[in-house]
Chain A
Amino acid sequence: MTPRSIARTALFALLLAPAAFAQITSLSGAGGTFIYPLASKWFNEYNKVHPQIQINYQSIGSGGGIRQFSVEQTVDFGETDGPMSDQQLRESKVQPVYHFPMALGGVVPVYNLPGVQLRFSGPTLAGIFLGEIAMWDDAAIVKDNPGVKLPAQPITVVHRADGSGTTYTWVDFLSKVSAEWQKKVGVGTSVTWPVGLGGKGNEGVSGMVKQTPGSIGYVELIYALQTKLEHAPVQNATGEFLNASLASVSAAAATARIPADYRVSITNAPGKGAYPISTFTWVLATPSMKDAAKKKALHDFLIWAVTKGQDYSEGLGYAPLPKSVVQMELKDIAKMK
């Protein structure tokens, strides 16, 4: 190539570039880390079908996602593992804020008591995490596990030290099954734990449980599935002891009563076969977006995510949304248009 031809090509490219870029709509989002593996798969697949749409997602945590979307308005959509509170909705600079469930997750108890297979009822778990049940051979645990020989060993509770949606779901369940938990501790992404040690992240909790004989903790279902961690069945509202699985988590969403704004906790869901410590994870969006192209792109993507996108859930360890919820959402996402 002669210098002249290089220059000509460069000029040509320069002239073309704006035309090429003009068609690309890029959306940005921020929020929880829980959805990140699924979300990045979605954005990737969606970009293959719709190359003119690019979606960037920063997994900075649910709290950050809510703030960036509703207060700082630096992103086009937010994402959170716990719904926004009434106060957060009131204080939001973006109005109205819609919650759209995108996927489901579960939280499971894990424990370190070699050679003993255990199952737990909700009140027992609450008692353990309140510190009232301090020994493994406590009457409450014996009652949940008839016929199991339990050691007279002290229980060490391990919880998440970092604020997290996993903690939110866990304590949300505990406060539904124990009035005392609700009164003494309450619900939040980080709470004041009556007893126990804090580990950082799922890996911190599971590492500490593995290392500490006689300990019990909780981790995200996906994490337990990926690391093949053995987890204990938990009793649901109908009295069944259920092991968490993608099917039993989906069942929780199918049997729960879903309100019009989707801000609902599906822990301790009433139906048969529903795993009691389950949760939605939500995308936060608003129809009051100014940029029409972005608005349409987000609308189209959300429709795709709750329909075709759900096919990718199971492969990555997420429980897919039940049909009933998808039907309901399709109508509401249409309001984004």
Chain B
Amino acid sequence: MRPSFHEEIPMDVSSTETPDHPVAGLAPHSGSAQRPRPGSAPLPSPRAPLGGPVRPSGPTDEQPGTAEALPALPMIAPEPEPDPDALPEDRYHRSTGRVADQLFRLGTGTCAAMVAALILVVILFMVKGSIPAFKDHGLGAILSPAWDPTNQKYGALTFLFGTAYTSLIGMAIALPLGVLTAVALVEILPKGPAKAISLAVELLAAIPSVLLGLWGIFELVPLVRRFEISIYKSPFGLRRLPIFGGAPLGVGFLAAGLLLAIMALPFILSVTREVLLQVPRSQREAAYALGATRWQAIRRFILPYSWKGIFGAGLLGLARVLGETMAVTMVIGNTPQIKASLFASGYTLASVIANEFTEAPSDLAISALISLGLILLLLSVTLNAAARIMLFYLNRSQGVPQGAK
């Protein structure tokens, strides 16, 4: 029974995907014909606006008003936005004069170029700044675990580990929590409470991280310590597990990961919620019409349809988590060491830069700190690229229904 869902509904969807579909009801969407793409295009085209709907693969035809596009890997939290494709083409051409049009194009183009230039300038600064450190140390030493400013040794490995480990903990908590909450908000809860909850979570995003860090020191860390002590004293010898080893101090990877989860949550939640809201009604209705329970509908129809957007939400959360500085610095213990234990204290790339920059003892130290920044950037780019490549292959393997792409 279920496999047939998979085949039928997407087929129905893909039939409307041909760009030159001459259905009169599609007129408001005809803007999408301007950037036709092969139905199987796995990645957003570079011309597609960030955070904007880039997939014209709208499966609905009965409801012109339904926003049908999925945001593909948005880099900033998109507000619920009206479908730009809904602007009728003829109005677009006639309403303004050619000069204004040209000016507008020039203006927006300049803005875009400036943003690109800004990124280049920052990268250039980091590369230039880290050259002395790379020259002095060589690549091997940069990746060593030794961090000893008094003896001019600046290895990045402990910080790289700290950043990766805390991010992993943060994402492992925030991603399921965010996605499940979003499902509840969109599919299960009544409108009132759902709205209240999403408002509260969005407020969470507005709390400055230094404040969250303070709250972390005074509230979260004692709580974590109590948990750690209970593990430490637990009769089953849990403390002998490597992830629970060490003294129960409260500060460390776990506390930092929890704070990061709190920070990533609003981003993951609001993007996922938007993505779920974009799932066409027909998809839901079809599921229920075929006798699916709510759980089946969510698992088989709604989540598969939007998983790519959820992936984007995860990437966005990850970006937030990787670079977070203040709050992590306040609760991680700032000890450059590599330990598997959740309870151990550690150090992250961003924290060490913030901590040591003002009193850096030498030019080499400053260069080493800048090189840590470069490593952080590379880490973030690598993760992003890896995620996109994974997405590409997942898409190709046809494991998901067409509409879910």
State whether A211 and B222 are in contact (beta carbons under 8 Å apart), knowing that A185-B150, A200-B330 are contacts in the complex: yes
A190 interface hit (Cβ, 8 Å): yes
Contact among A63, A156, A192 for B358, CB-based, below 8 A: A63
Residues of B within 8 A of A154 (CB): 247
Q: How far is the CA of A197 from the CA of B150 in the complex (A)?
A: 18
Contact among A187, A189, A198, A208 for B335, CB-based, below 8 A: A198
User: B148, A197: Cβ atoms under 8 Å?
Assistant: no
CB distance from B104 to the nearest CB of A (A): 40
User: B334, A163: Cβ atoms under 8 Å?
Assistant: no
Contact with B along A280-321 (1 / 0, CB 8 A): 000000000000000000000000000000000000000000
From A64, which residue of chain B is reached at the shortest CB distance?
Answer: B358
User: A197, B335: Cβ atoms under 8 Å?
Assistant: yes
State whether A188 and B150 are in contact (beta carbons under 8 Å apart), knowing that A61-B359, A198-B333 are contacts in the complex: yes
Residues of A within 8 A of B361 (CB): 63, 163, 188-190
A191 interface hit (Cβ, 8 Å): yes
B110 interface hit (Cβ, 8 Å): no
Residues of A within 8 A of B247 (CB): 154, 156
User: A211, B358: Cβ atoms under 8 Å?
Assistant: no
CB distance from A25 to the nearest CB of B (A): 29
Q: How far is the CA of A135 from the CA of B361 in the complex (A)?
A: 33
User: B355, A192: Cβ atoms under 8 Å?
Assistant: no
From A207, which residue of chain B is reached at the shortest CB distance?
Answer: B217
CB distance from A320 to the nearest CB of B (A): 26
User: B329, A200: Cβ atoms under 8 Å?
Assistant: yes
Q: How far is the CA of A204 from the CA of B356 in the complex (A)?
A: 15
Residues of A within 8 A of B345 (CB): 197-198
CB distance from A147 to the nearest CB of B (A): 29
Q: How far is the CA of A197 from the CA of B343 in the complex (A)?
A: 12
Q: How far is the CA of A239 from the CA of B247 in the complex (A)?
A: 35
A60 interface hit (Cβ, 8 Å): yes
Q: How far is the CA of A143 from the CA of B155 in the complex (A)?
A: 40
User: A211, B217: Cβ atoms under 8 Å?
Assistant: yes
User: B330, A204: Cβ atoms under 8 Å?
Assistant: yes
Residues of A within 8 A of B351 (CB): 161
Contact among A60, A186, A191, A208 for B251, CB-based, below 8 A: A208
Contact with A along B148-171 (1 / 0, CB 8 A): 111100000000000000000000
Q: How far is the CA of A191 from the CA of B147 in the complex (A)?
A: 9
User: A207, B356: Cβ atoms under 8 Å?
Assistant: no
Residues of A within 8 A of B333 (CB): 197-198
CB distance from A167 to the nearest CB of B (A): 8
CB distance from A288 to the nearest CB of B (A): 23
User: B250, A212: Cβ atoms under 8 Å?
Assistant: yes
Residues of A within 8 A of B354 (CB): 162
Residues of A within 8 A of B360 (CB): 63, 163
Q: List 19 A-B contacts (CB under 8 A).
A: A61-B359, A63-B358, A154-B247, A162-B355, A163-B149, A163-B359, A190-B356, A190-B361, A191-B148, A192-B150, A197-B333, A198-B355, A200-B334, A200-B355, A207-B217, A211-B218, A211-B222, A212-B249, A212-B251
Residues of B within 8 A of A (CB): 147-151, 217-218, 221-222, 225, 247, 249-251, 329-330, 333-336, 345, 347, 351, 354-356, 358-361
